[in-house]
Amino acid sequence: MRIVVLVSGSGTNLQAVIEAVKTGELDADIVAVGSDIPGCLGLERAEGAGIETFVVAPADFGSRPEWNRALQAAVASYVPDVVLLAGFMRILDAEFVEAFDGRMVNTHPALLPSFPGAHGVRDALAHGVKITGVTVHIVDSGVDTGPILAQAAVPVREEDTEEVLHERIKVEERKLLVQTLADLSTRTG
């Protein structure tokens, strides 16, 4: 299973996947790591692991559709079986989603369909839920609306701040992501 990973930030999910491939827990090849953010820590982690990287930055394009097409072409050039959004923070247009239909995976730090969008942890905390968690799902043309592959629950504690809660969610997120990819690789071959 060939995986292209897209990151915008620190790449902790990416790191978990890199390690799972290394230990053999996940039978897959990370063929490239791409980003919209030049120099982000996720790219550095990839380089540190000897993985090819690419950057397609919106600032270098005249319009959003042009950027989307360029990113799509860059990803497609690696002929991935799976495209993993690992802390990638951009919405991809319908054309992009169609090109990798049903093969693009995202993780979201809440129990979807509750609290979609950029601030899932903050929104869940503000709502006062007692249990939140993490969702691994297929990307469709909506935001965080695609078919759910797996979920794990994380109890909210009285004293939780967004940061502290997010850290506990991330621990579950890394495990669930690796498990889900391993399941996919068994099915994809």
Binding site per annotation, positions: 11-13, 64, 89-92, 106
Q: How far is the CB of 188 from ligand 3YE (least distance, A)?
A: 20
Angle at Cα 47 formed by Cα 20 and Cα 13, nearest 5°?
40
Give, in order, the Cα–Cα distances in Å from 173 to each of 28, 32, 135, 161: 19, 21, 8, 18
Neighbours of 108 (CB within 10 A): 26
Pick the stretch among 13-21, 139-147, 159-167, 170-178 that binds ligand 3YE (CB under 6 A).
139-147
CA distance 91 to 113: 17
| Annotated binding-site members for (6R)-10-formyltetrahydrofolate | 64, 89-92, 106
- Among residues 80, 176, 182, the alpha carbon closest in space to that of 135 is found at 176
Q: How far is the CB of 124 from ligand 3YE (least distance, A)?
A: 15
Q: How many residues bind ligand 3YE (CB under 6 A)?
A: 16
Q: How far is the CB of 35 from ligand 3YE (least distance, A)?
A: 12
- Secondary structure (3-state) at 85: strand
- Cα dihedral angle (38, 44, 50, 52), rounded to 10 degrees? -10
95 vs 167 by CB, closer to ligand 3YE: 95
- Is residue 108 annotated as a catalytic residue, yes or no? yes
119 vs 175 by CB, closer to ligand 3YE: 119
Is the CB of residue 3 less than 8 Å from the CB of residue 80? yes
Neighbours of 161 (CB within 10 A): 12
Does residue 139 interact with ligand 3YE by CB under 6 A? yes
Task: Catalytic residue, from 108, 127, 137, 166: name it.
Answer: 108
Binding string, residues 94-133; x marks residues near ligand 3YE by CB under 6 A: ---x--------x----------xx---------------
CA distance 83 to 102: 10
Q: How far is the CB of 33 from ligand 3YE (least distance, A)?
A: 15
Q: Which residues are catalytic?
A: 108
Q: In the complex, which residues of this chain contact ligand 3YE (CB under 6 A)?
A: 85, 88-92, 97, 106, 117-118, 139, 141-144, 146
